[in-house]
Structure 1
Amino acid sequence: MQGFLQRYLSLYRPLITALNELMSSYELSHSLWQVMFYLKNNGPSTLVDISAYYHVEKPTITRRVHRLEELHMIKQIPGKDRREKLIQLTEQGEEVYQALRVKITDLEHEVMNGVAQDEQLITFQTLPKIKENLMKREESLRGEA
């Protein structure tokens, strides 16, 4: 289907902008939210876990984590190995997560207004399949190099 990527990309930027506006009162952005979201859904984790999940370089995640520590949203906890740094949400981070989760859910409802429930479900199920195909492509390209 020609034009799919263009349609997706034309949606992406306005959606990120709307998310950033929602989070600005907490001095957060979508990129910082990603770390909080990961920790909330996966529990205490390492920087490597997060960077692998989002396919982002570890130094990028390290900068995000430092910023979230400055904001008292996350903290380091001892891991099994002294070299392993585990991070988790703080109590304040949990509270902010819950408050933003409500606002983000409201935004999701707003942007899906007028989209039939069955179309929403199809989109929800299709996007992970597209991501999986992109990951397969990436692995294949690495294998050729």
Structure 2
Amino acid sequence: MEGFFQRYLSLYRSLITTLNELLSTYELSYSLWQVIFYIKNNGPSTLVDISNKYNVEKPTITRRVHRLEELQIVKQIPGKDRREKIIQLTELGEKIYLECRKKINDLENSVMEGIKKEEQKAAFHILPKIQENLLIREGNKSE
């Protein structure tokens, strides 16, 4: 379907801008939110876990985690190995997660207004399949 990527990228940019504005109240950006969201949904996690999930280099995640530590949203806890950094949300981080999650839910509901539930579900299931196809394609390139 010609033009699909253009439409998607146009939506993506607009959505990220809107999310960044929404999160700015908490001195957060969408990239910082991704770390919070991952930890909230997966429990205490390593930097490697988070970087693998978002396909981002570990130093990038390290910088994000340092910023979240400065904001007292996450903290490091001891792991099995001294070199392994395990990150978890603080009480403040839990509170901020809940506040932001509500605002993001409200945003999701408002932008889905007028779109049938079946269409919403279809989009929800199609996007991860596209991502999976891209990952498979990248894997085939490296062989």
Q: Which bin holds the TM-score, normalised by the shorter protein? A: over 0.9
Is 1:34 paired with 2:22? no
Q: CA deviation at 1:5?
A: 0.4
Q: Distance in 2 between matches of 1:58 and 1:84?
A: 12
Query: What is the TM-score of this pair, normalised by structure 2?
Result: 0.98
- 1:66 maps to which residue? 66
CA drift of 1:103 comes to 0.2
Instruction: Measure, in 2, the Cα distance between the counterparts of 1:83 and 1:90.
Output: 21
- Give how far 1:114 is off: 0.9
Indicate the residue corresponding to 1:83 in structure 2. 83
Q: Percent identity?
A: 69
Cα RMSD of the aligned pairs, angstroms, is 0.6
- The AA in structure 1 aligned to 2:85 is K
Deviation, 1:83, is: 1.3
TM-superposed deviation, 1:82? 1.3
Aligned residue pair count? 143
State the partner residue of 1:8: 8
TM norm structure 1: 0.97
Q: What is the distance in 1 between the residues matched to 2:110 and 2:141? A: 38
Are residues 1:128 and 2:139 paired? no
Where structure 2 has 5 or more consecutive residues not aligned to the other structure, the ranges are: none
Equivalent AA in structure 2 for residue 82 of structure 1 = R
Runs ≥4 in structure 1, deviation > 2 angstroms?
none
Q: CA deviation at 1:141?
A: 1.2
Cα distance per residue 1:85-123 (max 9 Å; x no partner): 100010000000000000000000111111111100000
Structure 1 spans left out of the alignment, 5+ residues = none
| 1:20 corresponding residue in structure 2 | 20
- CA deviations over 1:61-80 (Å, ceiling 9, x no partner): 01000000000000000001
Q: Deviations over 1:28-58 (max 9, x none)?
A: 0000000000000111111111001100011
2:29 partner amino acid: S
